[in-house]
Structure 1
Amino acid sequence: MLTAVILMVLCSTADSVRLVGGVGSCSGRLEVETRYSWTTVCETDFDWRDAVVLCGELNCGTPVTLQGALFGKGKRPFGLREFQCEGTEKSILTCNTLTREENTCIHGKAVGLICSGVLVKPSISFSSPKTISTYFPKQHVIESDSDFTITCSTLPQFQGGSFKLKVPWNNEPYTQHADNHLASYLCPEAENMYHEGNYSCIYENHVNIGRNVLLTSESETHTVFIQGPYDVRLVGGSTHCNGTVEMPKRGRWRKVSAMDMDPLKQAAVVCRQLNCGYPVSATTARATDETWQFLSNCSGSESALGECKHVIQRPTYFTDTVVCSGPHNVRLVNGNSRCNGTVEMFHTGQWRKVSAMGKDPRKQAYVVCRQLDCGYPVSATTVKAVDEKWQILSNCSGSEYELIKCEHVIAHRTGFIDKVVCLEDFFFSSMAESPPRRFRPPIVVG
């Protein structure tokens, strides 16, 4: 019994382009496929605007060098198309063309092209012994006066070359030879006014591909923030917002107890300083093995525990444990209640203004009002900001329960901030009495 098998092959009739004879797919001699055969392009049929389109089409950046016979004569015949691109087309094959007569191109003038994408993008990495954790990728928070290192590296694509590190405190980058395809830069004793800002690595190399040309490629940008070390912490709890109160002294963290054995005022200061809301509970319990510890005396209005009066004393055998309501990382300020005003988010030890990425703050406003237990937004507007060096751009879907769950980017001087009025503030704005924290609708009985 014979079985007949019919094999159908579908071939593409679409034309395509390529660079051959160079390094990778972003440099070489230009060849165009037309009706299943490859042809070479004549130098006189191809100019710089054509090269801009081709490098973009091949995802190779921008043209660096365009020269006839740069990558040899080639063995393929010359095509008859003269390309006339504007420079904005997506593909070289969609550009206007003119038909040239045969045998009018001098042999040896085949188009050779080097695009900037021939270099692999370098990498940038960050390290510091005193890194403070952050929610944001490619952004690093470190303690002031601590050292940090920026390392630039690239794949072993070409030998030699050098790295230029772009830094926030100097318009001129710092140059260092690439040793084994990397270079490291040590920044000692970080300070806010010098070291806080954006860093990126530029790799450059004189490469002999067709001829000696200077190629450059820049890494992604990383941002460094400098934060003064806290002089208080809560330890032994489930989050940084609950646990036993400690303060540093002479390189060691020591337990803290209120002088009058009433830790509530001290707890209010600790929760405020750690951006953890307000104290839910504050208790004093017996401590063990405390050689030296702090006795504190707070009024409750201080912004930091270091502002309270303190005595360091031999063992008192008492220590304070605090549970805060937080952590809270969002607030509305400069309004007439906690439910309206300018949106701010706590990041890297500071409250920073917030603006929606698309300048439409409504989705973000839903998240803010929900997180602050303020109902839903009545209005959300974007206004001009002044003197905002660093601020946060957010991108919310509107369904998030916390602003930190949205996508965020730290931006430099965007000049816009968001203002939000939530329902709770709107409902109670005409009432003489202060509203309860949460609006509860009346219960219908019977």
Structure 2
Amino acid sequence: MDRVLMVFVLIWSSGLQAEETNTSKVINDIRLEGGSSRCSGLLQVKHQDTWSEVDDSDWDLKLADEICRQLDCGSVVQAYSKYTDSSAWRKKPFCFESESKPRKCLTKRSRVYPSSLEIICSDSVRLVNGTSLCSGRLQVKSNQSWSSVCEGDFDRQDAEVVCRELGCGTPSIFQGGLYGEGEAPVWDKNFHCKGNESALLDCGSSGSARETCSPGEAVGLTCSEPVNVRLVGGSSRCAGELEVKQQGEWTKVDAEQTAWTLKTADVVCRQMDCGSVILAQEKQDNLYKTMSRIDTACLQSESVIRECVVIKMTTSVYTLEIVCSGNNCPVFFNFSVLFVRCVLSTLP
């Protein structure tokens, strides 16, 4: 009986793989539908003249950004789960790590899923060649063409508008040549933002005589990350249960369905400017609650925490408690003895 079952499973899984391979090759197009522009809405796939939604499972902000860039819609600003009861396509596991074309990472499944992926892209501004979604060389889109901006046509108030438009924090650095030289064409206007506009193209502007940026003058911008991660319930801001802000609400992070280690917890401590990790452990609650998940593989690649939060939430009773050194303990690479060394270093 076990052998029969095993053969059935192998046949079923091989058939599923064949289905995924075949349908992926005949995806005609992808789009965002139902939003305020072609750069926002539910992610849909066109297959055999039919448009269908994509299930939101296993997506994070970093992967949603691939869709925005594929559609020439700037960079991702927000991504949500939306209940539609019509999602017939899913993302292939680990596909984006080796494939740059999103349509090859989507596959049709036999069942319909209850929630879909909604994405909002920046549309007319983006940062390229940066280390995160909130850093890079500034480009502005006009007439379907992306242009670099020269340092002399851009000031701090302009930078504040761009950072806010991209869903980031306040500008921390902006200067020419910060993320490489600009490429033609060059934006032909001088921005005059007041700082409270919702989009850069809403700002006043005047003509610029520049036809190209001099070497080292293409504006590079680093925005701070929005405050969307914290540790609560501990003795300081560097200790407690891990929470992230998702869809406007603070939620605890599930520790059961994701492989957390001291090394991944250490990334959280460092990004929160809390030194190095001392302790990371599961903590059981009394009731099942809606929680967020973090893709620890994404986190290990040194991506910022916000980009690694899985869009689809889950339910669990296990939360993650982290205790960081709070910058009072040096970083040790031997995590098995880290706790002992940190304790000893604080003794008189």
Computing the radius of gyration from Cα coordinates, the structure with the larger value is 1
Structure 1 length-normalised TM: 0.39
**Higher relative contact order (CA closer than 8 Å, sequence separation 6+):** 2
Q: Which has the higher helix share?
A: 2
Structure 2 length-normalised TM: 0.47
